[in-house]
Structure 1
Amino acid sequence: MKSIHQYGSDKAPVILVGTHSENKTEKEKELFFREVWKTLDMKKKSLKKHIDVKRRFAIGFHDNESLEKLKMSIADVVCKLDHWGEELPQSWAMFETFFQEKKIRKILSRGELQSFNETLTEGIKLHTIEDMDAMLQFFHDIRELIHFNHQFLNEVIILDVQWFADAFRNVITDKNHAQEDLFDFASEWDKFNETGELDKALLCAIWRMNNNGYLEHKENIMMYMEKLGLLAKMSDKTWYVPCMNKMQFPVDCFSSYPASTILCYTFDILPVEIFHRLVATCMQIPWEIFSDEERGCIYQTVAVFVFHDQRHNVLMGMTQTEIQLQVFVTDEEGEVDISACHEIREKIESILNNLADTFQNNSGFHVAFKCKPAGFCDSKESSVINESKFTRATFQCPSCPASKKHPINTNDITKYWKKELQKKPDPKEENISALELILNVVSKKMRDTTCCLLASYFEVAEDIFIRNFEEQVFRILYKWLCKNPNIDHLNELERILNEADQGRAAEYVRTFNMADFQCRDIPSPSLSVSEKEFHILSQYLPKDYTHFVRLLGLRQRSLEKIEENFQKIEKRVYEALLQTREECPTLCRQDLCRALTFLERNDVIEALKPLWKS
């Protein structure tokens, strides 16, 4: 159930089937399902969404009636799935057949796929890179193949998903098979089985033993496994496979060092894979592994890293519902630098947000703190308190039992991790922000030109990987702004636009005023916006969101950071809106409507009105 919740949808319907129910009474069947429900840990409210009493069946030998009811239930569930009835391009069926025909080869290159595309008739073939990416993403989503549109991986398509899964399953083979089949690599396998450190020679021996073509495609397979967080490269001859690590964390080894308080990321349901992939990603940054004599300090539930300043060290641990961080220094007279903690928190949250995205939005987390500096990954020593509870300077610990109550000083607990206060506005920064707004407006008013031509006028390189024309135009203008920090930007912008025969866009350089875009009939227009509005906007603005948030005042550097940290478009939109509110704390309903009016998105305003009237 947890796997369905983590890897599928938080509302994915589950059908429970009990077999061998012949000779069982109705009461016995009912008791059986009650016991099943108990084992599914139904205390987790989020898991209850998957279960329905109408979707449970007891099937016995020759029980055709129950079997027919089960078939009807499966058909009913399938017909209600999101993609049911969705229209797809005709050519995609041709590609599906092609993939099936080539599946025996296991892996296909992007070049071979393009060659096949060229054999299709003009009305069926895919004409752009974006069309090809969309087709591959669809078949990736339905698990027909594996493909990531990322550097190095983009040119490789894994056609046989089960073959790829078996490649990893063979690596983490059980002890009995290893002792029988890998006798010549006994010491290497024993180390791997204890620490998760996989030697290249051992890997080759395992795959040679299975003889399924893995060695032929070793480099591509390992790149994909790294991308999925199944392992991390430690050196040219060694990989780390987190799920094989059985070393126990020696708490006493680290408890005497000067340390920060403990930062926690709490999950409703913590996928173990997120912690393992977090550790693997930190190794790839790369953060050096803290050493205990000649052995690296990577344990089953804890990893210890050396921060890049070579002074601070990071304890990273996992409990049933949390990932915990603590920073320490080995200098007994030293102190932990707060700025290092801030940097570490920012990096870890960036990684976690990216990882959580791969679990279908079901692995969101909340920030919390341990009530004492002691008790890393130890629930008996100290308790976890949500960050939102730290609203007073001092208060009684709300989480510890009555026999262990103690006072908490908010500053003492949060000072290492809390975000820095906003700095006073910098006039130069405010000027750049205003220029970015003008560039954003101008990019929406360009007509009858090409990005290649505009790039030549502004003497910058065209960004060919941006699909949206207006966004491409903005990126060209933004590159020009960054390239020329010390010129009169407004005059130069007007001059170049007129030279490029874009006089209509040039007019907006001097005349644009956001206040000109008034919206009437808005309930309480000066009221601050909340996450409720952001959820609606995330659904309506996947195409226009970058222009929208820039109109509200979000800086381009903030947008680029969000695009780097989040892969899914709706998540990007939502995070961009949160960041906009943080950078522009006076953001109100009227501000949203002015920006939407400029973008000619009155449909979104109408979608917001019911919320505002309620």
Structure 2
Amino acid sequence: MFIFLCNLTTVLFMCKIFHICFCFCERICFSENELAESPVRKKLDTKEAGTLHKNKDLKSPKKEIDANRQLTDLIQDAVKRGTPEHNRNIADLSIWDFAGQYVFYATHQIFLSRRAIYLLVTDLSQHLDNPVQDDCYIDSKGRTHCNISEYVTFWLNSIHTFCESEKTGEPPVILVGTFADKLPKEKREEITDEFFTKLRETLAYSEAFEHLSGTTFAIDNSILDPNVEELRKTIVDIATKQSYWTELYPARWVVLERSLENFKRQGKKILPKRTLKLASENLHLPIDNEEFELFLRFHHETGYILYFSDEKLKDHIILEPQWLADALKCFITARQFCTKKADLCKMWLDFNNTAILKRDFIDAVWSRETLFQEHQDLILNFMERLDIIARPRQALNSGNTFEDFYFAPCFLKQTAPDLLLEIDEQECKSTSRLCFTTSSRIISVQLFNKLLAECITKWPISKQNDQYLIFCGCALFSVAKLHELYIYLRDSVIQIWIYKYSKKEPEPDSVVCSNVKDFITDSLNNGIRGSTELEMFVICQESPFKTTENMLKVDDLLREEEYKCNSHERRHVVSTSTLLKCWFPKHFEYQADHSDAFLNRSPTEKELSRLAQRIGREYRSLGFELGLTRPQLDHIEMEERNRTPVDKITAMLSEWVKEKADVATFQELKRAMVAIGIEWNVVFERR
């Protein structure tokens, strides 16, 4: 069920929607004349992703000559392999084929990159409303069959969620239709135009629409279609217009990258970091520890390797990200292997029904692949870091009865019983339902499963009749004594609410609720890349849990004392305090303090983090108004490029406080906000 582009000249079609990712890493190239003055002789500032590094003088003339020769050989080799018209603009092209079946979606985050061009490929001979014969489990509704347009929306939303750059339209997506030869020849162009027009219309209200390229391609599968060559040219043309295309790539990295490639050619899948560091130190152009880490992070971002600086993972590099995906794939394809033996069949059925990965099942499945078995703990640690699997808190705190197992949220298939969600409030009391989504309702199942994985390690999963209460699109957690958290995904909206089981003190504890809200918010913000902003809504607790209509935006509601609820049959008035006091206790404890004493002091780090959550996209303008320079803001952008927008804004404000010291007061911040049109009183409001 894939489409392959072989050398960008041949199309092989096997019927399904998916995309191919083209990752470009620019190389520094020189003309024949420029080679006379080697880059190692120049004491130039080079940069990787905006971070400046100073080339150091080589200590010995011999090393300088050897380094010069080594770089010259690399550059000349690259130029020889390039075409004459492009010998000064050479780039590596990596092609990734993403499996279209739902069960493989959990692996896609390993490869998705903003430094890419995506082809979203569909079958032109099919109607957009035709169902795709593949079981999907995208939210609390459980098993479903999506149609073609829904799959396209899913893919585009995934790209927008996990890959969006701060530059509008990046990464770009090209729509490609195959099997044009199956269309009536006399109406082929008309049908094709209508197909792509309707496809765009289904995406018109989504923020992800901005990624679509204006050019579309219809491919005839019965011939070597010349449109494939046009597609190749379009890919090259679009690639050269991306914001990262002109980023300087440190020349010393080219030499180290060759070492990395050599290890890959040797068939190595995992490499101890010290081995690559030693290789770097033995090169004629060694790099220091800080730049070495930047080198690894850059290649991680492009999907070329997998590397994390976490304590448990920092000593190893996965050279082939596909290899990690293959390790997960073993569990997906284990059914045929496991059903041949009774004990393995029972393990498989348990895993398939509960999404619980136990050690004996992991051992059995990976026993067929020596390398998986040899590096089992490391692979599991990487999967935990990627939130593909999660070790339950119960397993971590069970003392002598330690249970060594994991949950894999992406394998959850069972739906939550309605009776579990419809609780008699005579026995307990619920908060309102707090809802999270984006302005165009882009909340992917991968983002929800990532949230579940983090919650699994944060709180114990609730149990009933010795069964864990975790389901497809829904989970229950014991977050405090007598407090039970519900997390529920439906129609691209994540809902959370908390029940407190107590007749003596029925009101949910506001500290517990506020802490839960903050944890969920931080998790979702960290999972969304680029400029996509999370929005928070609320629904009356009396409304049916399956509805996401008539949601009220929290920011708007906090300005009102009461509102009329229209979200269920009984129309009634609800006070804002009743709806939100558990989630935002500080807002109702006191009004924002705008006294002179407040305005004349400097914000604390905690206050800067809180303010950053409400400033939004105008933060660069605010930085300029506060006196920061463009280089300072660019440096912050690049240093925090893999962090959330809130992290970048916090870093900008921290730099302002650090530089301006006593002048960096709330009063000055207020003045700057007024100057650029930000509602300072809303930003300063305590919640």
- Deviations, residues 249-285 of structure 1 (Å, cap 9, x unaligned): 1232351232111111123310211211111112222
In 2, the alpha carbon distance for the partners of 1:306 and 1:60 equals 55
1:411 to 577, 586, 589: 577
In 1, the alpha carbon distance for the partners of 2:510 and 2:484 equals 13
In 1, the alpha carbon distance for the partners of 2:471 and 2:332 equals 17
One-letter amino acid of the counterpart of residue 406, structure 2: W
In 1, the alpha carbon distance for the partners of 2:511 and 2:503 equals 19
Q: SS at the partner of 1:233?
A: coil
- Deviations, residues 577-610 of structure 1 (Å, cap 9, x unaligned): 68999x96644475689xxxxxxxxxxx9xx89x
Are residues 372 and 31 of structure 1, via their aligned partners in 2, closer, same or farther at CA, if it must alter by over 3 Å? farther
Shift in Å at residue 57 of structure 1?
Answer: 3.2
Aligned to 1:135: 295
In 2, the alpha carbon distance for the partners of 1:179 and 1:52 equals 46
Shift in Å at residue 75 of structure 1?
Answer: 1.5
**Larger displacement relative to structure 2 (149-158 or 324-333):** 324-333
Identity of aligned residues (%): 22
One-letter amino acid of the counterpart of residue 82, structure 1: S
2:547 to 347, 359, 379: 379
Are residues 431 and 406 of structure 1, via their aligned partners in 2, closer, same or farther at CA, if it must alter by over 3 Å? closer
Aligned to 1:15: 174
One-letter amino acid of the counterpart of residue 432, structure 2: T
Shift in Å at residue 545 of structure 1?
Answer: 7.2
2:365 to 206, 227, 233: 206
In 2, the alpha carbon distance for the partners of 1:274 and 1:158 equals 23
In 1, the alpha carbon distance for the partners of 2:592 and 2:580 equals 23
Aligned to 2:562: 394
In 2, the alpha carbon distance for the partners of 1:566 and 1:297 equals 37
Shift in Å at residue 349 of structure 1?
Answer: 1.6
One-letter amino acid of the counterpart of residue 413, structure 1: L
Aligned to 2:118: none
- Deviations, residues 330-377 of structure 1 (Å, cap 9, x unaligned): 224522122221121122222222222xxx32653111101334433x
Shift in Å at residue 60 of structure 1?
Answer: 5.0
2:329 to 169, 173, 177: 169
Are residues 212 and 44 of structure 1, via their aligned partners in 2, closer, same or farther at CA, if it must alter by over 3 Å? farther
Shift in Å at residue 63 of structure 1?
Answer: 5.5
Q: Which runs of 5+ in 2 are unaligned?
A: 1-155, 396-402, 606-613, 658-663, 678-687
1:244 to 411, 428, 432: 411
Is contact 1:541–1:573 with CA below 8 Å preserved after alignment?
Answer: no
One-letter amino acid of the counterpart of residue 396, structure 1: K
2:206 to 45, 55, 58: 45
Is contact 2:510–2:582 with CA below 8 Å preserved after alignment?
Answer: yes
2:270 to 89, 93, 107: 107
Is contact 1:270–1:363 with CA below 8 Å preserved after alignment?
Answer: no
Alignment of 1:33-182 (within 5 A): 34-35=194-195, 38=198, 41-62=202-223, 64-103=225-264, 104-121=267-284, 124-127=285-288, 129-173=289-333, 175-176=335-336, 178-180=338-340
Aligned to 2:446: 273
RMSD: 3.8
1:293 to 465, 469, 479: 465
One-letter amino acid of the counterpart of residue 191, structure 2: L
Aligned to 1:555: none
How many corresponding residue pairs?
474
In 1, the alpha carbon distance for the partners of 2:407 and 2:630 equals 38
In 1, the alpha carbon distance for the partners of 2:327 and 2:312 equals 20
Q: Which runs of 5+ in 1 are unaligned?
A: 438-528, 549-562, 594-604, 610-614
Shift in Å at residue 175 of structure 1?
Answer: 4.2
In 1, the alpha carbon distance for the partners of 2:262 and 2:542 equals 59
In 1, the alpha carbon distance for the partners of 2:453 and 2:514 equals 21
Aligned to 1:229: 387
Return the TM-score normalized by structure 1: 0.68
One-letter amino acid of the counterpart of residue 109, structure 1: P
In 1, the alpha carbon distance for the partners of 2:603 and 2:215 equals 59
Are residues 4 and 27 of structure 1, via their aligned partners in 2, closer, same or farther at CA, if it must alter by over 3 Å? farther
- Please identify which structure carries the higher strand content: 2
In 1, the alpha carbon distance for the partners of 2:329 and 2:269 equals 16
One-letter amino acid of the counterpart of residue 157, structure 2: K
In 2, the alpha carbon distance for the partners of 1:417 and 1:436 equals 23
- Please identify which structure carries the higher helix content: 1
In 2, the alpha carbon distance for the partners of 1:413 and 1:73 equals 52
Are residues 37 and 158 of structure 1, via their aligned partners in 2, closer, same or farther at CA, if it must alter by over 3 Å? farther
- Deviations, residues 183-221 of structure 1 (Å, cap 9, x unaligned): 432222212111111111101111113x15111111111
Return the TM-score normalized by structure 2: 0.62
Is contact 1:566–1:572 with CA below 8 Å preserved after alignment?
Answer: no
